[in-house]
Chain A
Amino acid sequence: MKDFIVSQHDNSITLAFASSFAHVDQAIATLLAFLGDRGVTVKAFDMNLILREGLNNAVEHGNGCDLSRSVQCAMEVKQDNVHITIEDEGEGFDWQHRDVGAIDARSERGKGLLLMQAYGFLVTYNSKGNIMNLYKALV
């Protein structure tokens, strides 16, 4: 596959890219530009941060930073929310038994899911745990 593929429609955009953090930066710039072009009023910092957490997670923990594995990301702007889907080619994880836990300022890891919830994103997974859905309400 090509390293970075974009497919854009009226209210949706899909990306597919090889698993690197450099591509995460490119994906975020593309997705924020898509939202900006459509006049979607979300706080850019918040969307940037949460997209980054989801995409970094897919690259690192899902695909093990294996460039031969791709990350797929779809974003759809609906009337009252933005729906983001992030899919990796990894084995998934047992999200049903994962404890998000309390905020521990001394801990160096495990903050991504906490951040998603703290910034008002609803998070769901498929049963395998390799597809994350993020929903952000539009106000």
Chain B
Amino acid sequence: MDQVQSSNDRAVITPSKDIVANTVQDLRAELFEVIQSGEKHVVVDLQHVEIVDSTGLGVLISAQNSVQEQGGGLTVINVSDDILRLFKIMRLDQHFVVQAREAS
């Protein structure tokens, strides 16, 4: 079960599993709901996520495109080294704000 917290124009969604084709519908619905409710600043916390496939990348890009139209932006935090490399290869770190996971 993903966690969704919302306060002061800022929503934080923490997916409980990887963001891949088999599971991405949950995150897509959660993002749609918070963006539809008018949240300008959406944070996706990847602390439990070890892989994002191209379907998952599409959902994050779609969220950024939508929230940007509302004058806000998407921030993705707690990003693993492997996912950070993926975001950089696809230049997504230039499209939304990305924060790496701190070394444990």
* Chain A complexes with chain B: yes
Instruction: Give the B-binding residues of A (Cβ under 8 A).
Output: 20-22, 24-25, 45, 48-49, 52-53, 56, 59-60, 103, 105-109, 111-112, 114-115, 118-119
B90 at the interface (CB under 8 A from A): yes
Known: A25-B22, A112-B54. A105 touches B95 (CB 8 A): yes
Closest CB in chain B relative to A3 CB, distance in Å = 15
The CA of A24 and the CA of B23, in the complex, are separated in Å by 11
The CA of A52 and the CA of B20, in the complex, are separated in Å by 9
On whether the beta carbons of A21 and B62 are closer than 8 Å, the reply is: no
Instruction: Give the A-binding residues of B (Cβ under 8 A).
Output: 20-22, 50-51, 53-55, 57-59, 61-62, 65, 82, 86, 89-92, 94-95
> Which A residues touch B51, using CB under 8 A?
45, 48-49, 52
* Interface-centre pick from B22, B57, B58, B91 (highest chain A CB count, 10 A): B22
Q: How many A-B residue pairs have CB under 8 A?
A: 61
For the complex, would chain A's binding face be called helix, strand, loop or mixed by DSSP majority? Answer: helix
**15 pairs, A vs B, C-beta closer than 8 Å:** A24-B21, A25-B22, A45-B82, A48-B51, A49-B53, A52-B51, A56-B21, A56-B53, A103-B90, A105-B61, A105-B91, A105-B95, A108-B62, A111-B58, A118-B89
